[in-house]
Amino acid sequence: MDKPVIQLHDLSKSFNKHVVLDHISTTVEEGTILGLIGPSGAGKSTIIQLLLGSETADSGTATVFNQVMPNRELLGNIGYMAQNDSLYEQQSGRENLIFFGRMKGITKQDIPSSVEHVTNVVNLGDALDKRVSTYSGGMKRRLSLAIALIGNPDLIVLDEPTVGIDPALRRHIWQELHRLKAEGHTILVTTHVMDEAELVDRVAMLLNGHLLADDTPEKLKNKYHVNSIEAVFLKVEEENK
Ligand SMILES: Nc1ncnc2c1ncn2[C@@H]1O[C@H](COP(=O)(O)OP(=O)(O)OP(=O)(O)O)[C@@H](O)[C@H]1O
């Protein structure tokens, strides 16, 4: 039977009486790439914060690996890339990777090979020993992604990972995400890029506090009689105005 990695159960969250999540429930099985889409401000990052335990739900539960979050012990097995890069600017990319890798519990001995692997994934080799403060925005995104992937975590949570990343590298990153999925890793990714929403196993669309569509891209396109996820998204928005 498929193993649930993420379980959101009846999750609600408001900020200053503004209901952002209204009794959300879904399950993400092991080895699935779930794409979370929705307009700006729909609550995608809020779901991630509840999932990681850095925000508290008003009601309901977020469970990861069968443990109710927050649970600090699980964080070593979750790779997280936030929307805003949180990097040590005065250190080099390599020093950042070593620091975060060690925090994740990678041994000193294994650090060099782990750093090399994730650096290749994001194509950051040449800049690795330069100070992060000299990086472009896209390079910082790539370093943040490498940090999320270091240590080979079972669950990878990426909040708009390909913003500012050129098309060739974007394709390379998606190939890597599919490779990780094939190895059994579970990936939750938020995106505004509708082409990317075609590449996931399941798309969940967040609108007005609800998950209004949550299915494979193919099934959603069939259901709405359209040939792209972008068109599904527009139809669902139109229906729920
Ligand atoms: N800590 C907070 N305090 C007050 N309001 C918040 C807080 N965090 C999020 N919000 C509000 O909750 C709503 C959802 O925000 P969230 O960042 O989850 O949306 P999003 O779908 O990730 O948006 P985007 O696609 O623009 O990143 C927004 O209206 C936002 O202003």
Assign residue 101 the CATH number of its domain: 3.40.50.300
For residue 163, what pLDDT is reported?
A: 84
Q: Is the pLDDT of residue 55 over 70?
A: yes
Please name every residue paired with 211 in a beta bridge, in sequence order, or none if there are none.
206
End-to-end CA distance of the chain: 39
Q: Are 173 and 122 in contact (CB under 8 A)?
A: yes
Q: Which residues line ligand 1 (CB under 6 A)?
A: 15, 20, 38, 40-46, 83
Question: What is the residue range of 47's domain?
Answer: 4-239
User: Which residue among 22, 37, 44, 83 has the greatest number of ligand 1 atoms within 8 angstroms of its CB, and so is best to mutate?
Assistant: 44
Are 127 and 162 contacting, i.e. CB atoms less than 8 angstroms apart? Answer: no
Distance 36 CA to ligand 1 centre (A): 14
Q: Which atom of ligand 1 lies closest to the CA of 38?
A: 21
In the chain, how many domains are there? 1
| Strand 18-29 to 4-15 pairing | antiparallel
How high is the pLDDT of residue 150? 95
Q: Higher pLDDT residue, 163 or 24? A: 24
Q: How confident is the model at residue 155 (pLDDT cuts 50, 70, 90)?
A: very high
Q: Which residue from 231, 186, 230, 233 is spatially nearest to 206, judged by alpha carbons?
A: 233
**Is the pLDDT score of 101 beyond 90?**
yes
What is the whole-number distance in angstroms between the Cα of residue 94 and the centre of ligand 1?
Answer: 32
Q: What is the pLDDT of residue 125?
A: 81
Q: How far apart are CA 119 and CA 22, in angstroms?
A: 39
The Cβ-side half-sphere exposure at 85, using a 13 Å CA radius, reads 24
Residue nearest to atom 10 of ligand 1 (CA): 15
What rounded mean pLDDT belongs to the chain?
Answer: 92
The residue whose C-alpha atom lies closest to atom 27 belonging to ligand 1 is 40
Instruction: Give me the pLDDT at residue 170, please.
Output: 87
User: How many Å lie between the centroid of ligand 1 and the Cα of residue 16?
Assistant: 12
Q: Which stretch of 70-74, 87-91, 214-218 has the lowest confidence by average pLDDT?
A: 70-74
- Tell me the C-alpha distance between 135 and 89, whole Å: 9
Count other C-beta atoms under 10 Å from residue 201's C-beta.
Answer: 17
Task: Tell whether the model's pLDDT for residue 166 goes beyond 90.
Answer: no
Flag whether pLDDT at 26 surpasses 80. yes
Cα 151-156-160 angle, rounded to 5 deg:
125
Q: What is the value of ipTM here, to two decimals?
A: 0.96
- Identify the pLDDT of residue 193: 84
- 123 alpha carbon – ligand 1 mean position (Å): 31
Q: What is the pLDDT of residues 73-91, one digit of tens each?
A: 888 899 999 988 889 999 9
Ligand 1 atom 29, closest CA: 41
Question: In this structure, which amino acid lies at residue 42?
Answer: A
Q: Of 4-18, 165-179, 201-215, which range is least confident?
A: 165-179
Given a cut of 80, whether residue 1 has pLDDT beyond it is no
Instruction: Name the closest-CA residue to atom 8, ligand 1.
Output: 46
Instruction: State how far the Cα of 157 lies from the Cα of 41, in Å rounded to an integer.
Output: 18
Query: How far away, in angstroms, is 160 Cα from ligand 1 center?
Result: 14
